[in-house]
């Protein structure tokens, strides 16, 4: 098959591995920097132009859209969809997953366990917001943050109030969340491909750090999921309309709670921690599904 990987940087680990796995399985792989694509939006013959030429005969795309490039990246993915090209993740599902609040609302509607969460922009009723999630200690998150930046643990009511006031001054959208203390600074990444969890790892934050992000010095190791965790991860990806997803959950006293569903989950951490050939699993998924044509996104939110 002719497969295009939409990625800004061909030297990134995930991009390299997908190319390698695709070529090993006999496919023609092209890395396409979606920011350099331009499009011809017509009913007659829509196309995607790249380096001055239309990208022709592409049978499937694997989007790897950077968080800060969602708007243009999903427009390029949508254009391929309009052309009838199979996309490993649907453009609408990618946009949906980039909005943390929308994600939590969709998951809640599907009965998936979440940390108790409040959302605010410029509320005057800070005490009320804090009480919504059961008081301090609590976690405050900037809606636009990634890699743990903008995620703050406020241990006391007073600290929570000060941080919320500071964010309010910046006119930022924030989430206020119950602090899952019993997670002990660890979270679990479940890598979903199709309707299976193909690999899972536990990430443990550095000593004294409640955030487990690998970018913040966290360590990862392979972990066996409980049947409940496995089911929650699969249901979360499905609720979001994502075929390929990194579902992050915390082990709480009241069962697994989902924090986030990532539509371009990185391959490096999970492959190194688990030894699973995630790239090949993704290519196999594309092989099996591209022949059936495009999925139609049926999520209503």
Residue 167 binds ligand ADP, judged by CB under 6 A: no
Residue that the structure tokens 């409640």 belong to: 210
* Among residues 200, 212, 236, 264, the one that binds ligand ADP under rule CB under 6 A: 212
CB atoms within 10 A of CB 30: 17
Which residues face 203 on adjacent strands? 187, 220
Residue 163 binds ligand ADP, judged by CB under 6 A: no
| Binding-residue total with ligand ADP (CB under 6 A) | 23
Contact 119, 173 (CB under 8 A): yes
Residue 145 binds ligand ADP, judged by CB under 6 A: yes
Residue 259 binds ligand ADP, judged by CB under 6 A: yes
State how far Cα 207 lies from the chain centre: 26
Residue 184 binds ligand ADP, judged by CB under 6 A: no
Residue 187 binds ligand ADP, judged by CB under 6 A: yes
* Among residues 3, 29, 37, 139, the one that binds ligand ADP under rule CB under 6 A: 139
State how far Cα 116 lies from the chain centre: 20
Residue 180 binds ligand ADP, judged by CB under 6 A: yes
* Among residues 81, 90, 260, 271, the one that binds ligand ADP under rule CB under 6 A: 260
* Among residues 86, 119, 179, 285, the one that binds ligand ADP under rule CB under 6 A: 179
For the CB of residue 233, give the shortest distance to ligand ADP in the complex, in Å: 15
**Stretch touching ligand ADP by CB under 6 A, among 15-23, 28-36, 37-45, 180-188:** 180-188
**Stretch touching ligand ADP by CB under 6 A, among 13-21, 41-49, 179-187, 225-233:** 179-187
Q: Name which of 61 and 250 has its Cβ closer to ligand ADP.
A: 250
Residue 177 binds ligand ADP, judged by CB under 6 A: yes
For the CB of residue 35, give the shortest distance to ligand ADP in the complex, in Å: 23
Residue 148 binds ligand ADP, judged by CB under 6 A: yes
* Among residues 147, 156, 162, 226, the one that binds ligand ADP under rule CB under 6 A: 147
Residue 211 binds ligand ADP, judged by CB under 6 A: yes
The span from the CA of 178 to the CA of 103, in Å, is 17
For the CB of residue 138, give the shortest distance to ligand ADP in the complex, in Å: 8
Site for ligand ADP in 44-73 (CB under 6 A): none
Alpha carbon distance, N-terminus to C-terminus of the chain: 33
Residue 151 binds ligand ADP, judged by CB under 6 A: yes
What residues make contact with ligand ADP under the rule CB under 6 A?
A: 115, 139, 141, 145-148, 151, 177-180, 183, 187, 205, 210-213, 248, 250, 259-260
């Amino acid at each position: 098959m002719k497969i295009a990987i939409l990625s800004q940087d061909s030297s990134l680990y995930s991009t390299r591995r997908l190319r390698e796995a695709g070529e090993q399985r006999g496919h023609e792989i092209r890395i396409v920097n979606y920011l350099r694509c331009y499009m011809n939006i017509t009913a007659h013959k829509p196309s995607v132009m790249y380096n001055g030429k239309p990208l022709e005969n592409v049978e499937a795309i694997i989007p790897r859209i950077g968080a800060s490039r969602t708007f243009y990246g999903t427009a390029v993915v949508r254009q391929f969809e309009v052309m009838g090209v199979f996309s490993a993740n649907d453009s609408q599902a990618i946009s949906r997953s980039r909005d943390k609040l929308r994600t939590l609302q969709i998951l809640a509607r599907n009965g998936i366990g979440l940390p108790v969460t409040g959302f605010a922009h410029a509320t005057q009723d800070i005490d009320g917001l804090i009480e919504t999630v059961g008081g301090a200690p609590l976690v405050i998150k900037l809606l636009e943050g990634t890699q743990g930046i903008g995620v703050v643990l406020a241990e006391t009511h007073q600290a929570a109030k000060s941080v919320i006031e500071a964010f309010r001054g910046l006119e930022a959208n924030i989430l206020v969340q119950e602090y899952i203390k019993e997670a002990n600074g660890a979270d679990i990444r479940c890598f979903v491909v199709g309707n299976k969890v193909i690999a899972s790892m536990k990430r443990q934050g550095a000593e004294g750090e409640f955030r487990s992000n690998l970018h913040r010095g966290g360590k990862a190791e392979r972990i066996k999921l409980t049947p409940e965790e496995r089911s929650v991860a699969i249901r979360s990806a499905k609720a979001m309309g994502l075929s390929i997803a990194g579902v992050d959950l915390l082990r709480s006293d009241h069962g697994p709670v989902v924090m986030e569903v990532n539509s371009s989950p990185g391959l490096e951490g999970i492959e190194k921690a688990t030894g699973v050939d995630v790239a090949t699993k993704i290519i196999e998924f594309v092989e099996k599904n591209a022949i059936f044509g495009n999925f139609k996104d049926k999520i209503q939110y």
